[in-house]
Amino acid sequence: MDKTISRKFFNDRAEHWDETVRNNDPRKLRKMADRLDLKESNFILDVGTGTGVFIPYISEKLNSSGRILSMDFAINMLLKAQVKYSNGRSLNYVCSEIETLHLDGDCFDTAVCYSTFPHFHDKPRALRNLTYLLKPQGTLFICHTASKETINAIHKNIPDFQDHLIPENDEMTRLLEDAGFSHVSIEDHEESYLLTATNGKLI
């Protein structure tokens, strides 16, 4: 998995991404957001926001105290999201990889990885950093508006993305638990994939 190739892939396609991808069906996005246990005052880390397709659906769950930090490693994707969505102090952006995002620990109540986990270049390192960034007992959501089988089949047909896959359930659970998460739950259906895990870090 070559991160340089991945970054170029997304940067080159950012301008027309929203017209060409299949993960931006409003009905499916709202249905997925409704399944996430988001509190109104949450500080949410939106990991791999891309062009921000999920931002309006999670932001509508928050009140004036809630905040979102949206991040992506492809600057052109992030710039597209910034043009589409801006909400003052409650929504901010940072260009970074989740493996190397350096902020104070125990920052976030929730981390949402919508349609991005397969593209993490070092999944164990990314998950360890998420346990650092999340508050103790904070929640991680890894979600897609398609099944694991569908996502993996799509990626296997893209040159250089054949290893951008969602692991089998047992392997996913092991990855999460090795990183310090607990209470891992995976729901994999025809139209969706949702993993929920709790940061097991002690207070």
- Percent of the chain scoring above 90 in pLDDT: 83
Based on the structure, what is the number of domains in the chain?
1
Can you give the CATH number for the domain in which 10 is found? 3.40.50.150
The tens digit of pLDDT for each residue in 139-157 reads 999 999 999 999 999 999 9
The pTM of this model reads 0.95
pLDDT in tens, 94-114: 999 999 998 988 999 999 999
Query: Do residues 189 and 138 make contact, with C-beta atoms less than 8 angstroms apart?
Result: no
Residue 141: alpha-carbon gap to chain centroid: 7
Expressed as residue numbers, the domain containing 58 is: 3-199
HEC readout, 71-99:
EECCHHHHHHHHHHCCCHHHEEEEECCHH
pLDDT in the model for residue 86:
84
pLDDT surpasses 70 at 186: yes
